[in-house]
Copies of this chain bind each other. A is one copy, B any other.
Amino acid sequence: MHVSEISRNQTLAEVGEFALIRAITADLPAHQAVHIGPGDDGAVLTIDGPVVTSVDVLVEGVHFRKDWSEPHDVGRKAVAVNVADIEAMGGRAVGILVGFSAPEQTPASWALEFAAGVRAECANAGVALLGGDVTRARDITISVTVLGTTDGLPTVRRDGARVGDVVAMAGRAGWAAAGLAVLGRGFRSPRLVVEAQRVPQVPYGAGAVAAAAGATSMIDISDGLLGDLTHVADASGVTIELSTSAFEVPEPLRAVAAATGSDPYSLILTGGEDHALVATFASADRMPAGWRLIGSVVERSPDRPPVLVDGSVWEAPAGFQHFGGGRR
């Protein structure tokens, strides 16, 4: 990134909108789908077939804390959580747009390192930075919109799970929540869970693989496994049965659970922000490589809730909801 015109000790007020944009968008790598990148009124790109699109907003103090995450991590996370939404439709992300709002007194270095993180994760995910908007605001607020393609495959929705399907997962669960638990207690280890909280490891490519294998439904786990699978179960009119025996408890999660006096399965089942993908398939042998079996789809009935764990209702808050309006 060309930052020669900006001193890293300057504030955004001193740098100004246009110099900041020039620094962020200088020397962007070429991307075969992009005809016009940042710098005009709009970007222009080619997307093969239907366009899959989604937006996510990250707010300082709500989705990240400046004392817990480096700006580079926040940039990477902003891209990763959005690409996960396209993966969850069975698609492949092609490009993103970033809205960046920050106080005038924010160090320019924060914005530049955030932008470097955005570019790093775009490179990881094979995604082009198409454009954005920068403006001042009291809190740092980041909106990322992602555009993707299904490469001719059918999109995979939340409402297609059928009785008899198997439930499978790609990616991790409970890691980011474990990281949040230790950060909230003032610790910085285990390092792996703290890193997972800062930047989720989205299983890039697993969504398209699932779509090609005929996944009947799919979702990305942003609010927690039980909460998000409730959406799938309700939309599909089925009940999803999970088995705790299907989940290995990784050593760092065991350590955090022991240190905080909690149940590691609570982290796995209700922890958000790992952005694993969960999909249903007609049978276990349809399940592609990289996916592992975690449950099955059974009939819904008036006395059967949307999600069961080892045959019972899991007794704990099942997910996060903004504005605090009632736990599911």
Given contacts A57-B143, A104-B324, A325-B15, contact A43 B52 (CB under 8 A): yes
Contacting residues, chain B, for A89 (C-beta < 8 A): 36, 40-42, 44
Contacting residues, chain B, for A322 (C-beta < 8 A): 16-17, 134-136
Contacting residues, chain B, for A45 (C-beta < 8 A): 50-51, 53
Contacting residues, chain B, for A309 (C-beta < 8 A): none
Q: Is A272 an interface residue (CB 8 A)?
A: no
A136 to B321, CA, bound (A): 10
Contacting residues, chain B, for A12 (C-beta < 8 A): 323, 325
Asked whether B325 lies within 8 Å of A14 as measured between CB atoms, the reply is: yes
Binds B, one of A93-101, A117-125, A245-253: A93-101
Q: Is A13 an interface residue (CB 8 A)?
A: yes
- From B59, B104, B133, B321, give the contact of A137 (CB < 8 A): B59
Contacting residues, chain B, for A54 (C-beta < 8 A): 41-43, 97, 131
A199 to B100, CA, bound (A): 23
Size of interface on A: residues with Cβ below 8 Å to B: 77
A155 to B321, CA, bound (A): 41
A186 to B55, CA, bound (A): 37
Given contacts A89-B40, A97-B53, contact A16 B321 (CB under 8 A): yes
Asked whether A158 lies within 8 Å of B41 as measured between CB atoms, the reply is: yes
A40 to B136, CA, bound (A): 31
Q: Is A115 an interface residue (CB 8 A)?
A: no
Given contacts A101-B59, A143-B57, A323-B104, contact A46 B51 (CB under 8 A): yes
Asked whether B155 lies within 8 Å of A55 as measured between CB atoms, the reply is: no
**What mask results when residues 1 to 28 of chain A are scored 1 for a CB within 8 Å of chain B, else 0?**
0000000000111111111100000000
Given contacts A16-B326, A53-B131, contact A99 B143 (CB under 8 A): yes
Asked whether B55 lies within 8 Å of A51 as measured between CB atoms, the reply is: no
Q: Is A65 an interface residue (CB 8 A)?
A: no
Contacting residues, chain B, for A137 (C-beta < 8 A): 59, 62, 139, 141
- From B101, B139, B143, B323, give the contact of A17 (CB < 8 A): B323
Closest 3 CB pairs of A and B: A16-B325, A143-B143, A41-B88
Residue pairs across A and B with Cβ atoms less than 8 A apart, 18 shown, are A13-B325, A16-B321, A19-B325, A36-B155, A41-B85, A41-B219, A42-B86, A42-B146, A44-B50, A44-B51, A44-B155, A57-B141, A59-B136, A59-B141, A62-B136, A136-B323, A137-B141, A139-B139
A positions within 8 Å CB-CB of B: 11-20, 35-36, 39-47, 50-57, 59, 61-63, 84-86, 88-89, 91, 95, 97-101, 104, 130-139, 141, 143, 145-148, 150, 155, 157-158, 218-220, 235, 321-326, 328
